[in-house]
């Protein structure tokens, strides 16, 4: 099974209604995260779909969005009570 690339999605949305819509869209793909930063394991198609959905929601004049592919090679380091994510080998996507 091919491993899905891990992305970090971070956003700062000025309008509360758009913020809710962006949060729901990102959380639909998220494996973990908090506030406005989420970890997402995405195929190329899922990444393209997420970006297309977010492009309709984000106001380029007032909002900020970052989608960053993380390098899977380094060892994960956690501080405090953080726990590395333990994701299943598959995801069930329901439309």
pLDDT per residue rounded down to tens, the chain (95 residues): 457 899 999 999 999 999 999 999 999 999 888 889 999 999 999 999 999 999 999 999 999 999 999 887 888 777 777 666 666 676 667 65
Q: Is residue 48 part of a domain?
A: yes
CATH number (domain holding residue 20): 3.30.70.240
CA angle 33, 55, 68 (to 5 degrees): 40
The interaxial angle of helices 44-57 and 16-27, nearest 10 deg, is 170
Q: Is residue 29 part of a domain?
A: yes
Position 42 scores a pLDDT of: 93
Query: For the chain, first and last CA: distance in Å?
Result: 23
Q: Which domain covers residue 45, as residue numbers?
A: 6-69
Domain total for the chain? 1
Q: Is residue 87 part of a domain?
A: no
Q: Is residue 76 part of a domain?
A: no
Rounded CA separation 88/50 (Å): 21
Q: Is residue 91 part of a domain?
A: no
Q: Return the closest-CA partner of residue 3 out of 76, 65, 73, 60.
A: 73
Q: Is residue 50 part of a domain?
A: yes
């Amino acid at each position: 099974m091919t491993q899905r690339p891990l992305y970090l999605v971070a956003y700062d949305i000025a309008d509360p209604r758009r913020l809710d819509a962006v949060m729901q869209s990102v959380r639909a793909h998220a494996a973990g995260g908090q506030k406005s930063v989420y970890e997402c394991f995405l195929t190329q198609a899922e990444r393209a779909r997420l970006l297309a959905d977010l492009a309709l929601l984000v106001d380029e004049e007032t909002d900020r969005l970052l989608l960053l592919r993380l390098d899977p090679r380094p060892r994960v380091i956690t501080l405090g009570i953080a726990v590395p994510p333990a994701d299943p080998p598959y995801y069930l996507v329901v439309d």
